[in-house]
Structure 1
């Protein structure tokens, strides 16, 4: 016969876990729609490989428009974007999240290979990456307010697109380290790889975000998410699209790829 005390403890533990999970979900929904987030993690292995190829070699990709499925709700038909596993043009958050974690781990690994690793470096690298991410999200939020973009799905799309830069950053660090034989990300090779990955990322964002910031507003469109924007709004959004895709991405990618082992850390480790 099972111990009644153990059964009671197990029951109380399960009740506490369920209550905690319910509390967490209810509070998370205040800030973000968890159901909407699941859409961005609906990926497959083939999608991940194809998406990485697209991010690094976007030059000849056609078309850039996203696939929509016809949905029927409340007596009306409207378009719903297909999940990433069904559409390579759909943004996801799996690759950006994995790339962010890989960047932090890989940067500290390179420091270890150069024999400049210090425990504080891990925290500094993670802090730098997270500051870049949150700063970019803050810029996106401000831009959405100024450009009158109120759709939550568009915000999540922009957040997802902001993370693809880490793919190019990791490739830059890797190839530079190999070419420079542990000499860091400088030199002609380092700058050459950086310029290429920056240009590829900028071109990818420019073409992809066109359908987020400048959706089709023609009378023949069947998208329920398309909206009418005035000519002045479209001009401002076009300007933001260019500034975000190139000058801002150049700054953020340069910060992430520069040799950033702080002198104070190295001095303290001697």
Structure 2
């Protein structure tokens, strides 16, 4: 009986000779320099060597320390100059509002004739925040009203088939420039009149920005009821804003008794207040009449 070539006489299987391992597809680079072809160092090794050499150089350490001190000093100077012109704490004061204050303030801007006490309240020689004092000026309402006015202007121009990004940008920039010019004129007037008060640029910016509320109401009424409704609301909001500005500046800038004075300084202060109030309807009309047709 013949046997298969892979088995012996007793039927046992012979062990096959092990085949040689196939050559590796990639060289082992875990050994560092020796595994690189040509004896070149591993990538990044020269960079690490240069960094270590730089850190170990005393002159480099001194230069880095000197550069860090200059950067820290420059940062402190920038923060100092920034706080000099824009105080973050003062800016937070003008945004310390709540829903109840915003609702009451909007009602006061639209109908201020029944309001009696216009003096800003103080606590330990510090003015109360707007959410605790209705007479305190704020920047929240002017900021939101400005944004609303820009959006409303875009909607009005779109209804009239006159919308374009250039025209909308022109409306926003014109409204902003008018407020800045008004604030600068008030600062110059207060300086020339030598008025001693606690009014800052933020106060004047808040009082000047309240006109956006009347502008929004005028444009909305014009879009709903035409030009006749626009002029009626324009007259009402303008007169209300004039009354609000006169009473607010009388107590905030001129004092409660200065309006009754007879000296030249008191008369100049009176003219300044009345001029600032009388200028409001002109700006409101100039910024809104082209939106209503």
Fold-level similarity (TM above 0.5): yes
Consecutive unaligned residues in structure 1, runs of 5 or more:
1-18, 72-78, 181-186, 219-228, 262-270
Instruction: Give the corresponding residue for 1:28.
Output: 82
More divergent stretch after superposition (170-179 vs 99-108) = 99-108
**1:40-98 superposed Cα distances (whole Å, 9 cap, x missing partner):** 111111100110010001111121122111x2xxxxxxx22211000001111110111
Instruction: Give yes or no for the alignment of 1:206 onto 2:246.
Output: yes
SS in 1 for 2:290: coil
Alignment of 1:226-237 (within 5 A): 231-237=263-269
> Counterpart of 1:258?
289
1:191 aligns with 2:222: no
For residues 210 and 284 of structure 2, the distance between their equivalents in structure 1, rounded to whole angstroms, comes to 11
Q: Tell me, in whole angstroms, the C-alpha distance in 2 between the residues paired with 1:120 and 1:162.
A: 25
For CA contacts below 8 A with separation 6 or more, give which structure has more relative contact order: 1
- Structure 1 residues 89, 258: closer, same or farther in 2, change over 3 A? same
- After TM superposition, the score normalised by the length of structure 1 is 0.74
Pairwise CA RMSD: 2.5
Q: CA deviation at 1:154?
A: 4.0
**Alpha-carbon distance in structure 2 between the residues aligned to 1:210 and 1:245:** 11
* TM superposition shift of 1:37: 1.7
Residues 8-58 of structure 1 deviation map (CA, whole Å, 9 limit, x = unaligned)? xxxxxxxxxxx8997764332232322222111111111001100100011
Q: Would you say 1:130 and 2:176 are equivalent positions? A: yes
Say yes or no: does 1:42 pair with 2:74.
no
**Structure 2 gaps, min length 5:** 1-71
Match 2:105 to one of 42, 48, 51: 51
Looking at structure 1, the residues matched to 273 and 80 of structure 2 have their Cα atoms a distance apart, in angstroms, of 35
Give the structure 2 partner of residue 62 of structure 1.
116
User: What is the number of residues matched between the two proteins?
Assistant: 220
